[in-house]
Amino acid sequence: MKYGKIITVKPGSLAEELEIVPGDKIIEINGITLKDIIDLSFAFADEEIDMLIEHEDGQQEMISFDKDYDEELGVEFDSAVFDGIRNCANNCVFCFVDQVAPNMRDTLSIKDDDYRLSFLYGNFITTTNMGPRDFQRIAQYHLSPMFISVQCTNPELRCKILGCKTAGKLMENLEKLEQADVEYHTQVVLCRDLNDGEELERTISDIVARKPYAQSLAIVPVGLTKFRQSCHPLTPFDKESAMRVIEQVEKWQEKQRKEDGRTFIYLGDEFYFLAGKDVPPADYYDGFPQLDNGIGLARNFIEEFKKIKETLGVPESGYEKPFHLKVVTGTAIAPLFKNLAESLHINNLQVTVVPVENNHFGTSVNVSGLLTAKDMIATLEKSEQENPADGILIPESALRTGDNVFLDDMTLDEFLAKMPVKTETARTGEDYFEALTDWNNYFGVSGENANYMWQSNAAYTKPEKR
């Protein structure tokens, strides 16, 4: 049995007062063996605590104390789940993990399908590996909302797409969540000539019918890399097929907005980029409920950029002398970055947007978050020979948050050492605006300030008794 290992104790916290130190493990609280931070949050809501700790030397100690109801322990763990991430038991025809190149970051090969990570961090789950005890625990702790990977609602087709004989029980499992008063967001990974067209129509209809428990439906195009070996044959979307999807979904969106004022169904940005269409306005995203899933990222970025532009205004003086900034992006988003930069008209500023083709995964993979350090360096080296820059801006999304490592395992520090000029990262539209308007005082993430770890109070407290 694995336990929650503490890696950080916050200064001045209750944990520090109790002389808990990094390396200690929490075994149980008030007789409850802790499987994850959900158990911890639930148990720690009591005011009288008996906490069993195991020190690094293997010695165990029971610590008893009183606390306020809402007082936190003040520690961080090495993982949100103490007993190990529940792996995926499916063999999906579109699985990105099966398309990852060799010698890539280890975390890219993890197939998680854990309902706890769905609740805590918005990871999408298929529900195929869940049993009665899982649904009972979801009901007991009222773990809502969840994030469900639907793919399609046709039972036979879902079994085929997921490569799992129990995948056809999706609607039954959604019913179990609803009986537990649990809401959920849904996603469809759309595969051309497989779950699109009439099948997508059926899926949308079935999920819409499950409102209000169903909170949203995101539709994203399947991602295909050049490493699809011995995989189910799939065809990428092109301009014409992407436009068909947009037109099909727009009819549903307009219907939903007329019925209750919410769009409810959202398309991934890639469909609009492929079709050569502008992304929808901000109000079509209903507050961006699936932003962490990449839904509405482009529009949210634009709105962030516009907001800070309206708040701060464009500096009239600009730069004292000619300044050339290169902005590295994936090929899909490059036109957006170019348009935003051109909207500023800053004196003495020249912005060159550098689209990087993804030679590692294949050029059909066109998002910034899947760029490797090697591809960015190669593109920049060629670009620098032609027209040297005074500064370089790269996408923060290409880094793994917390330890600042690119997909090909190069660290940010190693990358920066290869750059001829000051190089920073940008994540938001606000970052982009500040980098363009005040480069000398702009700083992105670094090894010192991009720190993220699992926290003991991950947005969850003990639910009220009913």
Token code pair at residue 384? 């620098």
**For each of the chain's 466 residues, which pLDDT tens digit applies?**
688 999 999 999 999 999 999 999 999 999 999 999 999 999 998 999 999 999 999 999 999 999 998 899 999 999 899 998 888 888 887 766 555 555 555 555 567 899 999 999 999 999 999 999 999 999 999 999 999 999 999 999 999 999 999 999 999 999 999 999 999 999 999 999 999 999 999 999 999 999 999 999 999 998 755 555 666 677 889 999 999 999 999 999 999 999 999 999 999 999 999 999 999 999 999 999 999 888 999 999 999 999 999 999 999 889 999 999 999 999 999 999 999 999 999 999 999 999 999 887 777 777 888 899 999 999 999 999 989 999 999 999 998 766 788 988 899 999 999 999 999 999 999 999 999 999 999 999 764 443 333 333 333 333 333 3
CA dihedral sign, ordered 375, 376, 381, 386: positive
**Using CA atoms, how far apart are residues 7 and 454, in angstroms rounded to an integer?**
9
**Using CA atoms, how far apart are residues 275 and 362, in angstroms rounded to an integer?**
20
Model pLDDT, residue 87: 85
Model pLDDT, residue 106: 55
**Using CA atoms, how far apart are residues 96 and 108, in angstroms rounded to an integer?**
9
Nearest Cα neighbor of 426 from 437, 434, 416, 415 is 434
Model pLDDT, residue 342: 96
Expressed in angstroms, the distance from the first to the final Cα of the chain is: 32
Predicted model pTM: 0.86
3-state secondary structure of 434: helix
Domains of the chain: 4-83 (2.30.42.10), 97-295 (3.80.30), 303-441 (3.40.50.2300)
In DSSP notation, 269-338 reads HHHHHHHT-PPPPGGGGTT-TTGGGTTTHHHHHHHHHHHHHHHH---SS--SS-EEEEEEEETTTHHHHH
Model pLDDT, residue 108: 52
Model pLDDT, residue 96: 62
CA angle 373, 377, 380 (to 5 degrees): 140
**Using CA atoms, how far apart are residues 116 and 81, in angstroms rounded to an integer?**
8
Asked if 53 contacts 63 with a C-beta cutoff of 8 angstroms, the reply is yes
Asked if 204 contacts 267 with a C-beta cutoff of 8 angstroms, the reply is no
Asked if 26 contacts 52 with a C-beta cutoff of 8 angstroms, the reply is yes
Model pLDDT, residue 39: 93
Model pLDDT, residue 363: 73
Token code pair at residue 25? 């493990």
3-state secondary structure of 176: helix
Model pLDDT, residue 69: 86
Please classify residue 178 by burial: count the beta carbons closer than 10 Å to its beta carbon, then call 0-12 exposed, 13-18 middle and 19+ buried.
Answer: middle
Please classify residue 79 by burial: count the beta carbons closer than 10 Å to its beta carbon, then call 0-12 exposed, 13-18 middle and 19+ buried.
Answer: middle
Model pLDDT, residue 16: 95
